[in-house]
């Protein structure tokens, strides 16, 4: 059982960290940045690196990830036994690394070891055993993915199947962890997790239909399904049959607010440069990237609002972790945009990010 003192102390620490993070009004500090080295200087100050820009990008991305993990871990250390809900939020880094590792192993790309994020005592996967997947997963509850890895290596199933299985496993554990807490302690967390799963499924439908031309039955197999909660798939299932080229068919859809409007100008990435597609307004096509950015913006504001107003300290720390992960994603997107010649102002406009 987590004591009230631990909960309050964790929130106080989280508040101090958030006050120095690039969320809320502090997002505006990113607008003037036009070079990757300037972003490094802004975020890391005296610890910024003097590297050529092409070398700086991957180095900066690694440090941004490490910065996020360090902030979250610092809060978890406030608890003698952190709630599983909060530990699982940190372990999303491990799941992301595992997806990368399995995809590389399935493709035979094992000549060099990727940079895996260390979670210290909160990690479960033995990435030191790379590229032996069986040894990496030994003693974890993730060994169920090994038969699919073997099938993927033999081209019997696409690697994306493993991603879907891992997503379903992760979100099922995250959802189940709510039951270990009192209802009053995790109302905001439950709302945000439910919305995240539902919107993740909608993005999945749009991506697989738009980019890969998948049929209804194929797409449905990639949805995250939570046992005894089919409602989290309803919006995605409803989107399976709408035309991707006719916005009028989506007018009654619950999630239409996240769809790109008619006349939306989307950026085109070409080589290592970015430019705006000035001809995009001639027709409409459902844009998965726009939807994902809009959904991320919505979840960010949901977390920011509940961090400020929720009466529950566990909810507040949950929202803190979500905000730090949003900040990391935002700063990484800025770094990638700057490396392609965009300004931060353009990147923030493309992502539709508002304080």
Which residues fall within 8 angstroms of residue 310, CB to CB, at 6 or more apart?
Answer: 187, 188, 316, 319
Cis, bond preceding 131 (omega within 30 deg of 0)? yes
Q: Rounded distance, CA 281 to CA 102, Å?
A: 40
Structure tokens at 248: 């009028």
Residue 40: exposure state from Cβ atoms within 10 A (0-12, 13-18, ≥19): buried
Q: Rounded distance, CA 107 to CA 73, Å?
A: 33
Model confidence pLDDT, tens digit, residues 169-224:
999 999 999 999 999 999 999 999 999 999 999 999 999 999 988 888 889 889 99
Q: Which of 123, 36, 24 minimizes the C-alpha distance to 72?
A: 123
**Number of other residues whose CB lies within 10 A of the CB of residue 243:** 12
Q: Rounded distance, CA 348 to CA 354, Å?
A: 8
Can you give the pLDDT of all 355 residues of the chain as single tens digits?
567 788 889 999 999 999 999 999 999 999 999 999 999 999 999 999 999 988 999 999 999 999 999 999 999 999 999 999 999 999 999 999 999 999 999 999 999 999 999 999 999 999 999 999 999 999 999 999 999 999 988 887 777 889 999 999 999 999 999 999 999 999 999 999 999 999 999 999 999 999 988 888 889 889 999 987 889 999 999 999 999 999 999 999 999 999 999 876 555 444 444 444 444 445 899 999 999 999 999 999 999 999 999 999 999 999 999 999 999 999 999 999 999 999 888 898 888 787 7
Residues in the chain, total = 355
pTM to 2 decimals? 0.92
């Amino acid at each position: 059982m987590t004591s009230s003192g631990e909960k309050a102390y964790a929130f106080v620490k989280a508040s101090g960290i958030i006050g120095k993070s690039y969320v809320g009004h502090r997002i505006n500090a990113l607008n003037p940045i036009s070079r990757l080295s300037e972003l490094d200087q802004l975020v890391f100050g005296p610890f910024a690196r003097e590297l050529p820009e092409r070398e700086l990008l991957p180095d900066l991305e690694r440090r941004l990830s490490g910065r996020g993990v360090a902030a979250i871990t610092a809060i978890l250390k406030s608890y003698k036994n952190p709630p599983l809900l909060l530990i699982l939020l940190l372990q999303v880094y491990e799941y992301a690394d595992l997806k990368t590792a399995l995809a590389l192993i399935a493709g035979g790309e094992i000549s060099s070891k990727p940079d895996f994020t260390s979670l210290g005592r909160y990690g479960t996967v033995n990435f030191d055993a790379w590229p032996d997947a069986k040894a990496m997963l030994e003693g974890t509850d993730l060994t169920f993915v090994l038969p699919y890895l073997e099938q993927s290596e033999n081209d019997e199933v696409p690697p994306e199947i493993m991603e879907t299985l891992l997503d379903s496993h992760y979100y099922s554990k995250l959802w189940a962890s709510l039951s270990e807490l009192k209802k009053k302690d995790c109302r905001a967390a439950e709302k945000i997790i439910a919305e995240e799963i539902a919107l993740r499924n909608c993005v999945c439908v749009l991506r697989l239909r738009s980019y890969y031309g998948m049929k209804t039955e194929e797409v449905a197999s990639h949805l995250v399904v939570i046992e005894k909660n089919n409602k989290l798939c309803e919006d995605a299932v409803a989107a399976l049959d709408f035309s991707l080229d006719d916005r009028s068919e989506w007018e009654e859809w619950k999630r239409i607010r996240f769809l790109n409007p008619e006349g939306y100008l989307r950026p085109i990435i070409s080589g290592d440069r970015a430019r705006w597609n000035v001809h995009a307004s001639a027709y409409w096509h459902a844009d998965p990237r726009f939807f994902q950015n809009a959904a991320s913006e919505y979840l960010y504001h949901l977390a920011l609002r509940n961090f400020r107003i929720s009466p529950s300290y566990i909810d507040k720390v949950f929202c803190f972790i979500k905000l730090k992960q949003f900040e990391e994603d935002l700063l990484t997107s800025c770094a990638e945009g700057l490396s392609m010649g965009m300004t931060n102002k353009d990147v923030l406009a493309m992502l539709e990010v508002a304080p």
